[in-house]
Amino acid sequence: MKKTILSMALLLTIGLLYAQKKTTTSATISFDATTAIDALPKAENKTVIASLDTKSGKLAFESTVKSFTFSNPKIQEHFNNKGWMNSDQYPIASFIGEISNLSVVKFNKDGVYNVIVNGELTLHGVTKKVETTAIFTISGKAINAAANFSIKLDDYDVKGGAILAGKVSKEPTILVSADF
């Protein structure tokens, strides 16, 4: 009987430890670099890997650059070429960070929580510090995380001809969403 109770307690403890880290392989990153000259530079990647540790607040996102899809195949080709993202040389974009005000999120209580996320975004082989706000929506055991922010392509050494010609925004908007 003692062994059974001990085994059940051990299994429960292990289950609780693993429940703190949530992962998904279907997070989404949307990229909007439209300008007054061109409304087509929009892309989406629905195969982003994301993880969230609800105890520490650590967050991570990773995406394959070639998985971004555009409505126009020619723009997608330009996006992946050397003059733009150079996805053969820099195949992965990633973010590693944490929720700096984690105490405001009650992962065991339904609600909408505004948080501040700090971390490092690596894009085109360049890593820069990023701070943004995010919204965490808790509903039952489901957690949705969403953030909307802009970056300066020049900071990441992305300087394609379309950017210089004004066809692609120098500061695209990025929307990240993950259901854990």
| pLDDT tens column, 105-159 | 999 999 999 999 999 999 999 999 999 999 999 999 999 999 999 999 999 999 8
Domains of the chain: 21-179 (2.40.128.110)
Alpha helices in the chain (DSSP H): 2-19, 73-80, 161-164
Residue 163 confidence (pLDDT):
86
Flag whether pLDDT at 12 surpasses 60.
no
**What percent of the chain is modeled with pLDDT above 70?**
89
More confident residue, 7 or 114: 114
**What pLDDT score was predicted for residue 19?**
54
CA neighbor of 97 nearest in space, from 125, 124, 116: 116
Q: Which pLDDT tens digit goes with each residue over 41-71?
A: 899 999 999 999 999 999 999 999 999 999 9
Q: pLDDT tens across 63-107, in order?
A: 999 999 999 888 899 899 987 899 999 999 999 999 999 999 999
143: three-class secondary structure by DSSP: strand
Tokens of 73: 């195949």
What the block records as the tokens of 165 is 């010609």
The confidence score (pLDDT) of residue 135 equals 98
pTM of the full predicted structure? 0.84
From the list 175, 70, 71, 126, the residue with the least C-alpha distance to 80 is: 70
Confidence at residue 139, expressed as pLDDT on a 0 to 100 scale = 97
